[in-house]
Structure formats: structure tokens, C-alpha cells
Structure 1
Amino acid sequence: MHTPSVVAILGMGVWGTALGKIVQDNHHNVYAWSHRGDMPLVSVVQDAQIIVSAVSMQGVVPTAQKLRSLNLPVDKIIVTATKGLDPETKRTPSQLWQSILPHNSVVVLSGPNLSKEIDQGLPAATVLASSNLAAAQQVQKMLASDTFRAYVNQDPLGTELGGTLKNVMAIASGVCDGMNLGTNAKAALLTRALPEMIRIGTHLGASGATFFGLSGLGDLIATCDSPLSRNYQVGYRLAQGQTLEEILADLEGTAEGVNTTKVVVKIADSAAIAVPIAQQVNKLLQGEITPQSAIKALMERNLKPEFDDLNF
């Protein structure tokens, strides 16, 4: 029998709530904090050995700065479960956390984890990645259960980028299904999405092999094939003729892929990286093209060998 840990969950949206339930079901003591709530942050984190952040991308920096102002002890482990890229610095959540709290171990949590399925107790697997393997293993013991299997690796950037970049592809996948383009088109889209993710990821310093794991290919499959995915819903509903403003106002939670798409295109443009899917998704989100013309542009690209751009 393991010794119960004290765990703080920061951010009580659908994902933070699901993670809190996993931890609580494993008989750990859970304290929750939300920037909308009344509970002071200091009282939530002061006894916690592990702090799990499930705040939105825009909440990462202010939340990390609040913890720094509390003189957070360096032995507390930060687990980041946010998927996105900072619009200004183009950094990932873990890079932001590490820059603000450089002496704390930071662990990335990412995988094919649809929160509503986890809430129902359905089986799932995830990845915990950190340059500090011992910290990742400590979090692994805290989370692992009969219905939630946790793996560890030492490529936090690749693990994080897999979960971040697939949100762009999920929007494209939703468009594909919203237009009833069929299984062949969907299979082609997802197969071409993976090397696009790898090109960006390896440029940013990740290992290409990580994208074939749970946090890359696994999350891509789950998010691009489920109406439970908020990013998928964005694409699907755009294809149905709704405006982006209408869709975002009606969503339960944040579709991080909308912001991520803009950042990915900026990175790709500055480094001359081919990201045809992200480019079309970005134009669609900006209202520059229709779903029909986005698909047409992808189908009319120059003919080329299948594997000429996978250099890893």
C-alpha cells in the first residue's frame, strides 16, 4: 500500500476535474484551486508534494508567477497538463514553468486522454515526461491505476508538442468529417498530419521518435476521431457553416488549437518549414477561405514522393 500524497490541482475545468478524480480515486489527498474560486493559492499548495497545473494556456504565466511569489520550495514537483504554445515567446507550457520556477522539477503529462471518458472510468493511458526521470516516476506512481496506465520518458518537449500540435490537426479532421469526405480522406489527412507535426517538433528540439508514441500518434488518433474533442468540434462546426465566434462562445472549455495554429504558422514561416495542413487551417480560422477551398488547396499541391521530408 502506497503512502498517500498531498496533491494540488490548479485549474478546475473539465481536464483539471478529471485529473483530480484520478488522484482522489488513488487515495491521495487532493486540494483544488481555480482563479475564479475563493480558496487562496497558498493554502492549496503549501502541503502539496506534487502540483498539477491544468490551467489554460493564457493562465500558465500568471499562475507560475503567483507560485514564485510564494517562494515555492524547490522539492515540490510541477506537473503541467496544459497543451498549447505561448503567442509571444512561442514557448511550451513546461518551458514557461521552468523559466519562472527554474529550481523545481517539471513533468509533462500528455496523451490520448479525453476527459469525459476518463470521468466515466473508461481505460486510458498517458505519458509523464521530464528531464528528471525520478520526478516523472514519482508522478507515475501517484496516477497509475487499473484504468489509467502511465508511462514515462525523458523527452518532455516532444511529449508536450505531440499533444499541442495534434490540436491543429484535430480542427482539420473535424472539417473533414463535417463535410462528409469519407474514411479515405480522413486516413490520408491523419497520415500526412504526423510528418507535419514531426517537422515542427524536431525543428524546436524534440525527438522525432516521440511522435510515434502515445502523446503523438496516440493523441492524434483520439482527438481527430472524437466529437468529445473541442478542437474537432471547431472544425466540424466550421464545415457546417457556423462562425468561429459562435463556436467558441458555445464550447465547454478552451479549444487551444485555435491559438496554437497561429503560432505554428509563424514558426513554420520563419524557418521555411512545410506545414500545408496548418496553413489551410489557419486561413480557415482567419476567415480567409472556406472549408471547401481549404480541401481543394491540399488536394492540388505539387506531386512529390511520400517520404522525402522525414529526416529523423
Structure 2
Amino acid sequence: MQPKLVAVLGAGAWGSTLANLASATGHNVRLWSRHLECSLAETVDGADIIVSAISMKGVRSVVEQIRSLSFAPETIFLTATKGLEPTTTLTPAQIWQAAFPDHPIVVLCGPNLSKEVQQGLPAATVVASTDITAAETVQMVFSSNRFRVYTNSDPIGVELGGTIKNVIAIAAGVCDGLHLGTNAKAALVTRGLTEIIRIGVAWGAKIETFYGLSGLGDLLATCNSPLSRNYQVGYQLAQGKNLAEILERLEGTAEGVNTTQVLIAKAHQQHISVPITTQVYRLLQAEITPRQALEELMLRDIKPEYNF
């Protein structure tokens, strides 16, 4: 492959990591953030791949800033943001696709804790698009002997898996913070996956996607590592700290906090059962304590295991 020009938008932990991955495989990389001197227009000018690694709250603003610019028809937009827009409940990829309907949009997601990837520890991820050629191009750009990239044709499933697992990760942090044990943690993560699948299928995703790297894989990583910001939110809530204090001291954004609120509104609108998300939401709103959330989950009406 001829070297590509990759413009990475967002110089946080994940954006910087993706920039380093592309650079290490021989591609030309430009990195942009609001704090750098290079303008957004200069950064994306002539880029073959534009990577969005900004927080959810900044996606709409950046899209609006560059949508009037001209890009070659083959320019690929790669989104690595996890979250849902509060006002529209759109995913990042849906926002990018609406602004650039004639360009391929690719989603990147997987069990990719940035600190481990930065250390050169082996990891795998998924790039998904309805344009398989675009997904394969991105696959080639980021693949290395330390970072294995798979392709997938279900972008909404890949994106939702990486987004909704942040809510379950908050619950997992609470579980560990309360020292509830391995049995409880295993049950929570398993039932969390069921909840993710229920939501995803209702939104048009494929069930099998959630058993892959962007679903089960990302869920396991985020629910079991102190490196996960969402896990840390739950763990510290269980230790008695208040949410505002936790978020103020957190390095980076815990997207699960915002996602929980958006997800609850969407689930109520579509009549989707989301018991774990509901308790996480009530906990974040300080309506209940972690112990009360546990009790309410354990005392729900008994039911069959599989009943999507």
C-alpha cells in the first residue's frame, strides 16, 4: 500500500494512540486539537483518511466546521468516538454520514485501552462499514504485529457495542467497589451483554456482532480494568464519592455518564427493557445508593434467561 495521509482529530489519549499506530506503519499523520496552532482546515486538507477521536460533545461542532470544505470522493471518515448525541440520540457515525453522505464512513471499536496500546501490548480491534473497500483500507493502515484489525459490515452494531458497554462498565465498577465477588460480577457482565444485544437489535444491528471484539470483547476489557474511566466512575461511587467530584478528578471523559441519560430516554421511547441501565441512571442521578441499586436488580420479577 502507498503511504496514506491520515488526519487525526483529537489529541487526547486515544487520538494520539491512533496517530502513533498509523505513523508506525509508515503513513503520514497530522494531529489536530483545539490547543494546537495548526487549523482544522489545514489538518484535513488533502487527507486520505480523516479520523475523529474527539469526545462526543465535540463531534457536532467539528463536523459543522469542515462540512463546507471540499474532499476527494474517496476520502474516508473514520470515527473512533463512543457515545450518543443527547439532542438527537444519533451515534457519531450517523452524524458524520449525514454531513458527508457521499463519502464512506468507517467505525473503529474494540477492547482497546489506550494506555496498553501505547505500551505496545498486543490488541485487536474492528473497523466496520457498509463500504467494505473503505474498511479494508483502514484495516491495512492500522494493522501491525501489535495491533490486529478485523473488518465488519455492521457499523451500527459495532458502534453500539462500544457505546453501550460504557454504561455496563459503570455498573461493573460499582460491583467491584462493593466487593460483591466473582459470581456477581460474572452475572452482571453476562446480563449486561443481553441488555446491549436487546438495544442493538431494536436499532437494526446484527446479534452476532455483539459476540465479537466490539461487543463482548470491549465489554470484558472495560468492565475489568481500572484503566477504564467508566469503571472508575462506578468504583468510586461505590466508595461513597459524589459524581461531580469523581468527574472533576477524572483524566478524560467518561462517556458512559452521558450515554446512560440518552439511552434511558431512547429506551423509554421504544419500550425497550433496560434494567441495568435504569439502575445506573438512578445511581448517577443520586436517586438511590449503590446498595439499593443492587437490591432492585436482584429482586426483579423472575423470568426466563433468554427473552429478548
Q: Same fold (TM over 0.5)?
A: yes
Does the 8 Å CA contact 2:126/2:152 hold for their aligned counterparts?
Answer: yes
Letter of the 1:40 partner, please give it: S
Q: Does 1:105 align with 2:104?
A: yes
Letter of the 2:167 partner, please give it: V
For residues 243 and 132 of structure 2, the distance between their equivalents in structure 1, rounded to whole angstroms, comes to: 41
| Equivalence map 1:8-87=2 (5 Å) | 8-87=7-86
Q: Which residue of 2 aligns with 1:148?
A: 147
Q: Which residue of 1 aligns with 2:272?
A: 273
TM-score normalised to structure 2 length: 0.98
| Equivalence map 1:60-209=2 (5 Å) | 60-209=59-208
For residues 151 and 71 of structure 1, the distance between their equivalents in structure 2, rounded to whole angstroms, comes to: 30
Q: Which sections of structure 2, spanning at least 5 residues, go unmatched?
A: none
> In structure 2, the residue corresponding to 1:69 is in which secondary structure?
coil
For residues 86 and 308 of structure 1, the distance between their equivalents in structure 2, rounded to whole angstroms, comes to: 29
TM-score normalised to structure 1 length: 0.97
Deviation at 1:20, TM superposition (A): 0.8
Does the 8 Å CA contact 1:7/1:31 hold for their aligned counterparts?
Answer: yes
For residues 196 and 308 of structure 1, the distance between their equivalents in structure 2, rounded to whole angstroms, comes to: 11
Q: Which residue of 1 aligns with 2:227?
A: 228
Deviation at 1:73, TM superposition (A): 3.1
- 1:7-54 deviations in whole A, cap 9, x for unaligned? 100001111011111111111111011123221112111121111110
For residues 142 and 174 of structure 1, the distance between their equivalents in structure 2, rounded to whole angstroms, comes to: 34
Q: Does 1:302 align with 2:293?
A: no
Does the 8 Å CA contact 1:79/1:108 hold for their aligned counterparts?
Answer: yes
Deviation at 1:86, TM superposition (A): 0.6
Does the 8 Å CA contact 1:171/1:232 hold for their aligned counterparts?
Answer: yes
- 1:245-297 deviations in whole A, cap 9, x for unaligned? 01101111100000000111111111211100000000000111000100010
Q: Which residue of 2 aligns with 1:216?
A: 215
For residues 193 and 162 of structure 1, the distance between their equivalents in structure 2, rounded to whole angstroms, comes to: 11
Does the 8 Å CA contact 1:201/1:207 hold for their aligned counterparts?
Answer: yes
Does the 8 Å CA contact 1:64/1:101 hold for their aligned counterparts?
Answer: no
Deviation at 1:161, TM superposition (A): 0.2
Q: Which residue of 2 aligns with 1:284?
A: 283
For residues 168 and 190 of structure 1, the distance between their equivalents in structure 2, rounded to whole angstroms, comes to: 11
For residues 132 and 6 of structure 2, the distance between their equivalents in structure 1, rounded to whole angstroms, comes to: 19
- 1:180-220 deviations in whole A, cap 9, x for unaligned? 00100000000100110011111111111110110000000
Deviation at 1:159, TM superposition (A): 0.3
Count the aligned residue pairs.
308
For residues 208 and 35 of structure 1, the distance between their equivalents in structure 2, rounded to whole angstroms, comes to: 38
Percent identity over paired residues:
57
> In structure 2, the residue corresponding to 1:297 is in which secondary structure?
helix
Does the 8 Å CA contact 1:77/1:106 hold for their aligned counterparts?
Answer: yes
Alpha-carbon RMSD? 0.8
Letter of the 1:177 partner, please give it: D
